[in-house]
A and B are shown apart, each in its own frame.
Chain A
Amino acid sequence: MLRQFIRRFAGFSLLPLLLLAACRPDTSETNTTPAAETAAGPQQLRDDLGRTLTVPAQPRRIMALAASMTEMLFAVADTATIVARTQVCDYPAAALRKPVVNSYPLDLERLVALRPDVVFTTTGITSEADAQRLQELGIPVYYQQYETVEDIFRGLTDLGRILNRQPQARQLVDSLRRELQAVEALPKAAAAPSVLAITWTDPIYVYGQNTLFTDKIRLAGGQNAVQEKFAQPYPALTREYILKMNPDILLGGSFGKLDSTFFRLYPELKRIKAYQTRRIYAPTDDLMSRPGPRVIESVKELRELVR
């Protein structure tokens, strides 16, 4: 109880310092890089949820608790420093050679035994209760949160800074940006088609307005059919709501598959434009659901589908 209080209090007192740090002119391009500064002592970090944590100046043992984050780490970090993966992390292939820590339910003992300097994860994957428990055991948890493709670039850049791999991160982000610019330069349809992406059929769950999908489909030349912002990122919708949206394109499975499952269950929905024009496609699951370094690959795939 007391320890918790002290920790929380310490967090608050750190806040002004961090703000001060944030106000300083960006010095990362000059010789006095943060790396050189932090080499002296541990880094005080503030993650995307505003939580403060202390991480060694040069983390030597790291891991991720989300499949997308493992992809991020393999893209930015020195892969020798990645000590484990979770049961769902299967990309890149090199990740499969790492020992497995079960993330749900979280295998605390195995995780602690691996003694990571810092654990990275994303919102919606790791519960804050689990993170709190890990912090109490002395393992800092760094959350990232993305609503746009730009957020992912920022996330990669942040990882580069924390892990002292700025050059690698910058190179990666620069090349992703170039790829994105190339996609954006391609000719677009006059009117962006409305695209509904479903994640589950019974009940019908979809990619809501406040998900990364909205930005990705915009960059691909379409627009998320769900314009209303719901409390849940992946809201449940009624058939009536979908009829009213009348999406041009439906993502979530091939025409044949959805015809025999989704539209069999909800024959009324056969009236939507997507069904009438057979514009029903199956984008790659992992590209859809993982906000990681393959995000531009995902945008490209979506562009091929909505073209």
Chain B
Amino acid sequence: MTRPALPFILASLLLTAGLLAVGLRVGSYETDYALIGRALLHYDARDPAQLVLIELRLPRLLLALLAGAGLALSGYVMQAMVNNPLADPYLLGTASGGALGASLTFLFVPGLTIFGLYAPPLAALVGALGVTLVVVVIGSRRGRVVPTLLLLAGVAMGSLVTAVGGLLTFLAATEEKLRTITFWSLGGFERASWATLPYPAAAVGLGLGALALLRPRLNLLLLGEERATALGLPVARTRWLLLLIASGLTGAVVALCGPIGFVGLVIPHITRWLLGTVGRGNMVFCALLGGNFLVLCDLLARVLYPPAGLPVGLVTALFGVPFFVYLLRKQGG
């Protein structure tokens, strides 16, 4: 079953626009649409309300959008790569590795700066890619990624990393450090700024571009390894490429937002339910849907618990899981 994706993509874009319009209004400053219009068209940085709109709220919304897109795409790729619907960006330990990296800096890097750079995002990226590398090394044989092995290695390393993270939390000397670690292990968008947005933007852009080129291979892979090989697909090389894309996407997101669960697992499923398994517009739609989902979750988080908002990772699960269960039941019946 394959449906034309265009109407879905257009509807998603409309939803994105609507969410951005609502999202720009939520915060401590009162901002009506006239002011938002002025800020967008004739930005005046001297007006604190306009500064807040342009420098704080807009990057935050865009970061949520990009993070959702990146995680959803990463999940989509992972599920295709190992041909298992349970795969998600957590599978490779990428997300938990990122959280661990950030936590380590809070405990061991005085002043939180390394060579003049703010350490947590750097460490998160290193942690994300480092743990992924270990999982991949365990999960491959003679240069070939073995999906079942990869899944097991991912689960095992995930437990280990979670345990080390738990140990750090347990040993955290002060309540504040504890809170920071908690914050970094649940994710959030409060650090959003124009200076750091290019990284996830580039990751999502490059990811989408590469995946557009790889789409035929991805779909062949979904037929199973034997048939894909029979049809002439270099399975090993394709898997490596996809792995690189998935961990790059997740790493870029985790480095800025912390690990945010659930998006990468569920959004690809919803995409396939709506558009079919091998649809042409699947990836674009998946990215948009993931982005919209996280923007919505962040909005909920901020409305429910102002001003700082609940950690977004909590909201994705609290609101996402019941919805997912509903879909599962409906699908089953």
Residues on A lying within 8 angstroms of B by beta carbon are 105, 199-203, 205, 235-241, 243-244, 246, 260-261, 264-265, 267-268, 271
Determine the distance from Cα of A244 to Cα of B48 in the docked complex, in whole angstroms: 8
Stretch at the interface among B110-118, B260-268, B289-297, B313-321: B110-118
Name A198's closest neighbour in chain B (CB-CB). B176
Q: Is B51 an interface position by the 8 A CB rule?
A: yes
Can you sample 18 A-B contacts with CB below 8 Å? A199-B176, A200-B176, A200-B179, A202-B112, A202-B120, A202-B180, A203-B180, A203-B308, A205-B179, A235-B308, A239-B190, A240-B29, A240-B52, A243-B29, A243-B56, A264-B118, A267-B193, A271-B48
Known: A243-B48, A265-B191. A237 touches B180 (CB 8 A): no
B112: A residues at CB distance < 8 A: 201-202, 261
A202: B residues at CB distance < 8 A: 112, 120, 180, 183, 191
Known: A200-B176, A205-B179. A241 touches B190 (CB 8 A): no
Q: Is B93 an interface position by the 8 A CB rule?
A: no
Q: Is B27 an interface position by the 8 A CB rule?
A: yes
Q: Is B225 an interface position by the 8 A CB rule?
A: no
> Which are the 3 A-B pairs with shortest beta-carbon distances?
A236-B308, A200-B176, A241-B307
A238 & B51 in contact (Cβ 8 Å cutoff): no
Known: A202-B120, A261-B111. A243 touches B179 (CB 8 A): no
Determine the distance from Cα of A236 to Cα of B308 in the docked complex, in whole angstroms: 6
Determine the distance from Cα of A184 to Cα of B205 in the docked complex, in whole angstroms: 62
A240 & B183 in contact (Cβ 8 Å cutoff): no
Residue of B28, B120, B183, B193 with highest tally of chain A CB at under 10 A: B28
A240 & B188 in contact (Cβ 8 Å cutoff): no
A268: B residues at CB distance < 8 A: 51, 55-56, 193
Determine the distance from Cα of A236 to Cα of B309 in the docked complex, in whole angstroms: 9
A203: B residues at CB distance < 8 A: 179-180, 183, 188, 190, 308
A267: B residues at CB distance < 8 A: 193
Determine the distance from Cα of A235 to Cα of B51 in the docked complex, in whole angstroms: 23
Q: Is B239 an interface position by the 8 A CB rule?
A: no
Q: Is B272 an interface position by the 8 A CB rule?
A: no
Name 7 extra pairs, CB < 8 A, besides A240-B307, A243-B51, A261-B111.
A200-B180, A203-B183, A203-B190, A235-B308, A240-B57, A243-B48, A243-B56
Residue of A201, A205, A238, A265 with highest tally of chain B CB at under 10 A: A238
Name A289's closest neighbour in chain B (CB-CB). B174
How near does chain A come to B137, taking the closest CB pair, in angstroms? 32
Residues on B lying within 8 angstroms of A by beta carbon are 27-29, 48, 51-52, 55-57, 111-113, 118, 120, 170, 176-177, 179-180, 183, 188, 190-191, 193, 307-309
A238: B residues at CB distance < 8 A: 27-28, 56, 190, 307-309
B190: A residues at CB distance < 8 A: 203, 238-239
Determine the distance from Cα of A265 to Cα of B120 in the docked complex, in whole angstroms: 11
How near does chain B come to A234, taking the closest CB pair, in angstroms? 8
How near does chain B come to A189, taking the closest CB pair, in angstroms? 24
Determine the distance from Cα of A239 to Cα of B111 in the docked complex, in whole angstroms: 20
Determine the distance from Cα of A268 to Cα of B50 in the docked complex, in whole angstroms: 12
Determine the distance from Cα of A264 to Cα of B118 in the docked complex, in whole angstroms: 8
A201: B residues at CB distance < 8 A: 112
Name B102's closest neighbour in chain A (CB-CB). A202
Known: A203-B188, A261-B113, A271-B48. A240 touches B56 (CB 8 A): yes
A236: B residues at CB distance < 8 A: 179, 308
Determine the distance from Cα of A274 to Cα of B118 in the docked complex, in whole angstroms: 23
How near does chain A come to B108, taking the closest CB pair, in angstroms? 15
Determine the distance from Cα of A205 to Cα of B48 in the docked complex, in whole angstroms: 22
A243: B residues at CB distance < 8 A: 28-29, 48, 51-52, 56
B188: A residues at CB distance < 8 A: 203
Determine the distance from Cα of A268 to Cα of B27 in the docked complex, in whole angstroms: 16
A271: B residues at CB distance < 8 A: 48, 51
A239 & B56 in contact (Cβ 8 Å cutoff): yes
Determine the distance from Cα of A25 to Cα of B119 in the docked complex, in whole angstroms: 62
Determine the distance from Cα of A243 to Cα of B113 in the docked complex, in whole angstroms: 24
B193: A residues at CB distance < 8 A: 267-268
Known: A205-B176, A237-B307, A265-B118. A244 touches B55 (CB 8 A): no
How near does chain A come to B53, taking the closest CB pair, in angstroms? 9
Determine the distance from Cα of A268 to Cα of B190 in the docked complex, in whole angstroms: 13
How near does chain A come to B159, taking the closest CB pair, in angstroms? 22
Determine the distance from Cα of A268 to Cα of B170 in the docked complex, in whole angstroms: 34
Determine the distance from Cα of A243 to Cα of B188 in the docked complex, in whole angstroms: 20
How near does chain A come to B290, taking the closest CB pair, in angstroms? 24
How near does chain A come to B56, taking the closest CB pair, in angstroms? 5
Determine the distance from Cα of A246 to Cα of B48 in the docked complex, in whole angstroms: 10
Determine the distance from Cα of A246 to Cα of B49 in the docked complex, in whole angstroms: 12
B309: A residues at CB distance < 8 A: 238
Name A124's closest neighbour in chain B (CB-CB). B175
Determine the distance from Cα of A202 to Cα of B112 in the docked complex, in whole angstroms: 10
Determine the distance from Cα of A243 to Cα of B27 in the docked complex, in whole angstroms: 11
Determine the distance from Cα of A201 to Cα of B113 in the docked complex, in whole angstroms: 13
Determine the distance from Cα of A241 to Cα of B302 in the docked complex, in whole angstroms: 12
A105: B residues at CB distance < 8 A: 170
How near does chain A come to B36, taking the closest CB pair, in angstroms? 14
Residue of A240, A246, A260 with highest tally of chain B CB at under 10 A: A240
Determine the distance from Cα of A261 to Cα of B109 in the docked complex, in whole angstroms: 13
A246: B residues at CB distance < 8 A: 48
Known: A261-B111, A261-B113, A271-B51. A237 touches B176 (CB 8 A): no
Determine the distance from Cα of A265 to Cα of B121 in the docked complex, in whole angstroms: 11
How near does chain B come to A24, taking the closest CB pair, in angstroms? 40
Determine the distance from Cα of A235 to Cα of B191 in the docked complex, in whole angstroms: 17
